[in-house]
Amino acid sequence: MQFQCSISKLSKAGHASPLTLHNRHARCLQNRLNLLLWLVNNGVTGVGTEDSKVALYEDGQGDRGVIAVEDIPAGYQLLRAPLRLAITDVMEEEEQQQLVGQGALWQDRLVAKLLQQVQAGRESPWHPYLQALPKAVPSALESFSNADAAAVQLPTAVAAIRGHADKMAASWQSCRPDSIGGADLQTYRWAHSVVMSRTFGNAAQGGGIGVRMLVPLIDMLNHAGDETGGLLSEPATARDNVRWDVVSPDNSPSSCWEMVLSSTQAIPADSPLLLSYFEGGNDEFLLHYGFVPPSNPHDTVQLFSSITEALEHLWQQDIRQGQAAADLSPLYKQALDAGLAALQEELAAAADGLEGASWGPLLDALEPIKVVSGSRVSGSLIAALEVLKHGDMAAVEAAVAGLAWQQLAALDSSLLSDLALLVADAHVAGDGEAVQLFGKLLRHYAQVVIPDAAVRTAVKFRTNKKMLLMDVCVAAGVPRAVLQQFQAAASGSGGTLSTCHALPWQQASSA
C-alpha cells in the first residue's frame, strides 16, 4: 500500500476560515493556525471550520491535543485525513539504498524521511506540520540524564534507557550526513523520539504491520488505555473514547486512502479525544513517550531474562544452602525441560492464526520471566518450579514470592516512600485526582506493611525526628539534588518500613 499524491503548500487563499481553536482551553499559536489552514486546504475534514465538533488545544502547561467543542454521540465520524499527507516508511529501492541502505529498520527509514523534510524548511510540502511538532519529546530516550535513568531503579529499565541512548549515538555516527538532512545528534534523537511516539502502524493482510506512518492531526491525540481503579488487582476499564481506521478509496467519499477517526462512546463537550496508543507495559511508554499510564493492568516486571537464568539463580541458592550438585543435577534438568516445553506451548498459542508470523518477536516477548497483574508469573517458571518442588503448589507460590521479594528488597527506595512522595507531589500540584489515586494505594499498602499499632507509633515517632533534621537542611539551603540523594541513600540503607517485619515464608524458614 502506497500513498503517493501531491500536497498543497500553505496558502492564505484557502477555504479554512474561520479557523477554530478552543479558546477556553487553548492559546492561539500561529503555527496551530498554519497547521489548520494546511490541513483543510489538503482535504482534512472535521476540524478548522465553524461547524467542526472538535478543535485543537494547548493549555498553559504546554499540553496539547484535540478536544470536543460540543457533545458528540458514540459512533460519530469525527475526522477524515487523506493519507497522501502521511509521511510513511515506504521507500523505493533506490531511495532506500541512497538514504539508509538495504535491511534498514522501519524507524530508520521514517527518521531519514522526516529529517530530509526538516532540512527542506519552507520548501517542504509538510512545513506547517513540521512546525507544529513538539520541539522536545519528554521521552526517557531524549530527555533523561544518567541520574534520571538511575532514579528508575529497575535494572532492566535502567539498562534499556542507557542502552537505547548508546544505540542512538552509534546509529547517528553511522549515518551519512546528507541521508539525515545534516542533523546533529540532538536533532537525530528528537526525530527518533517523534517517530517512536507518533507513528501509526496499519495491519498487513497476512498479519503483523504493513505501512507505518506519521499522520498529521491524528497524531496529536493523547493516550488513554485500560486502567484499573488503582490497585492492579482490580478490574480494568477502557478509558479511550475514539478509534482510527484506514479506509480504501472504494469506501472513501474522496476516492483516496484515508484515516478516519470515530468516537467509540459519547464524548461530552470540553472533553479531550483520547486514543489508545497500544496496550502494553510501562517500559515502552517511559522510553518512547515520556509518561507512565496510571494503574496500567498490562504492566510487567522482569525477574529474569530466561528460564535458564532463573534456574541458574535457584541452583546457586540451593548450593549455598549446602545441597550437593550431584543430587541437584537430574532434578534441574527435568525442571529446565519442563520450563522450555511450557515456553514452546506459549509460543505456539501466540503464533496461532498469524499467517507467516516470525517467532523472533514472539520469543523476545515471551522468553523473559515476568510478573504480571493478578499476582501471575510466566508459565515457564511455574512449570519448572513444579518439578523442583515435587508438585507442592504452596511451595511453588512461596518460591515465586521469594524471588519477587528479592528484587523488591534490592531497590533503592521502599514502596511506601515512593507512594508518599507521589501523594505529596500531587498535593503541591493541586491534582485532586492523583491525590485520591495515590492516597488509596498508600493506605492499602501501609496496612499490608504496618499491621499493628506498635509499628505505627514507631513510625510517627521517627517521622517527627526526621522532620526536625530535614528542617535544618532546608533552612541551611541544602540543594534539592543533595536532599534527594540523602533520601535515596536513607531508603536503601535498611531503615525502611519493610525491615520491620519478616515475611511469612521467612518466618517459616527460620523456625
pLDDT tens column, 82-138: 999 999 998 877 676 677 776 778 899 999 999 999 999 999 999 999 999 988 888
How many domains is the chain built from?
2
Specify if 379 maps to a domain: yes
Q: What is the pLDDT of residue 507?
A: 40
DSSP assignment of 96-142 equals: HHHHT-TT--HHHHHHHHHHHHHHHGGGSTTHHHHHHS-SS---HHH
Q: Is the separation of the CB atoms in 75 and 242 below 8 Å?
A: no
Instruction: List, in sequence order, every residue forming a beta bridge with 212; answer none if it has no partner.
Output: 201
User: Which amino acid makes up residue 319?
Assistant: I
Predicted confidence at residue 472, as pLDDT, reads 77
| Span 144-153, pLDDT tens digits | 888 889 999 9
Q: Long-range contacts for 203-207 (Cβ within 8 Å, ≥24 apart)?
A: 206/355, 206/356, 207/353, 207/354, 207/355, 207/356, 207/357
Flag whether 40 is in a domain. Answer: no
Q: Is residue 30 part of a domain?
A: no
Identify the pLDDT of residue 24. 39
CA distance 197 to 200: 9
Which of 170, 196, 36, 43 shows the shortest CA–CA distance to 114?
Answer: 196
Tell me, yes or no, whether 473 lies in a domain.
yes
Pair (395, 449) in one structural domain:
no
What's the pLDDT score for residue 5? Answer: 42
Would you state the pLDDT for residue 289? 92
Write out residues in the chain with pLDDT < 50, as ranges.
1-6, 9-28, 492-511
Assess whether 489 and 399 both reside in one domain: no
Shared domain check, 498 and 399: no
Q: Give the Cα separation of 129 and 37 in Å (integer).
A: 11
Question: Looking at the domain assignment, is residue 304 inside a domain?
Answer: yes
Pairing of strands 64-68, 54-58: antiparallel
What's residue 384's pLDDT?
97
User: What is the per-residue pLDDT across 30-57, written as a single tens digit (0 to 9) for each?
Assistant: 888 899 999 999 999 999 988 999 999 8
Residues 405 and 309 reside in one and the same domain = yes
- DSSP character at residue 499: G
The answer to whether the pTM exceeds 0.75 is yes
Report if residue 336 sits inside a domain. Answer: yes
Checking DSSP bridges between strand 274-275 and strand 222-223, what pairing results, if any? parallel
**Is the domain of 445 the same as that of 403?**
no
Find where cell 535457584 sits.
314
Neighbours of 503 (CB within 10 A): 14
Q: Are 449 and 498 in contact (CB under 8 A)?
A: yes
Same domain, 312 and 373: yes
Expressed as residue numbers, the domain containing 383 is: 300-351+362-410
Please classify residue 208 by burial: count the beta carbons closer than 10 Å to its beta carbon, then call 0-12 exposed, 13-18 middle and 19+ buried.
middle
Instruction: Examine the domain organization and report whether 400 and 448 are in the same domain.
Output: no
**Which of 394, 410, 426 is the endpoint of a domain?**
410
8 is a domain residue: no
Residue 485 has what pLDDT?
64
Which three three-digit cell numbers place residue 406? 528479592
Could you tell me if residue 64 is inside a domain?
Answer: no
